[in-house]
Amino acid sequence: GAGVSQTPSNKVTEKGKYVELRCDPISGHTALYWYRQSLGQGPEFLIYFQGTGAADDSGLPNDRFFAVRPEGSVSTLKIQRTERGDSAVYLCASSPHQGAREQYFGPGTRLTVT
Amino acid sequence: SQKIEQNSEALNIQEGKTATLTCNYTNYSPAYLQWYRQDPGRGPVFLLLIRENEKEKRKERLKVTFDTTLKQSLFHITASQPADSATYLCALDNEGNTPLVFGKGTRLSVIA
Reported confidence tier of residue B10, pLDDT bands at 50, 70, 90 = very high
Q: How many CB atoms lie within 10 A of CB A89?
A: 20
- Predicted pLDDT at B65: 97
User: Please, which residues bridge with residue B50 across strands?
Assistant: B33
Using the predicted structure, report yes or no on whether residue B96 has a pLDDT greater than 80: no
- State the pLDDT at residue A44: 97
Confidence grade of residue A2 (pLDDT, cut at 50, 70, 90)? confident
Query: Using one digit for the tens of pLDDT, what is the confidence trace for A3-18?
Result: 999 999 999 999 999 9
B30 at A interface, C-beta within 8 A: no
The mean per-residue pLDDT over the stretch B96-104 comes to: 86
pLDDT-above-70 percentage for chain A: 98
Q: How confident is residue B97, by pLDDT bands cut at 50, 70 and 90? A: low
Q: What is the chain B residue with the closest CA to A39? A: B104
A92, A26 Cβ separation under 8 angstroms: no
Residue B62 CA: distances (Å) to CA of A17, A57, B30? 45, 34, 21
Residue B27's pLDDT is 86
List chain A residues with CB under 8 Å of B100: 33, 43, 45, 103
| Cβ neighbours, 10 Å, residue A15 | 12
What's the whole-number average pLDDT of chain A? 95
Convert the pLDDT of each residue in A29-81 to its tens digit.
999 999 999 999 999 999 999 989 898 999 999 999 999 999 999 999 999 99
Residue A26 and residue A100: Cα distance in Å, rounded? 14
A13 vs chain B: nearest CA distance in angstroms? 20
d(CA B56, CA A94): 26
Q: Which residues in A lie closer than 8 A to residue B46 (C-beta atoms)?
A: 102-104
Q: What is the mean pLDDT of residues A19-25?
A: 98
| A111 near B CB under 8 A | no
Residues 40-79 (A) with a CB less than 8 A from some CB of B:
40-45, 48, 50, 55-56, 58-59
Residue B47 has pLDDT above 90, yes or no: yes
Backbone dihedral angles phi then psi of residue B66, each to the nearest 5 degrees: -145, 115
Which of B23, B38, B92 is the mutation pick for testing A, counting most A CBs within 10 A?
A: B38
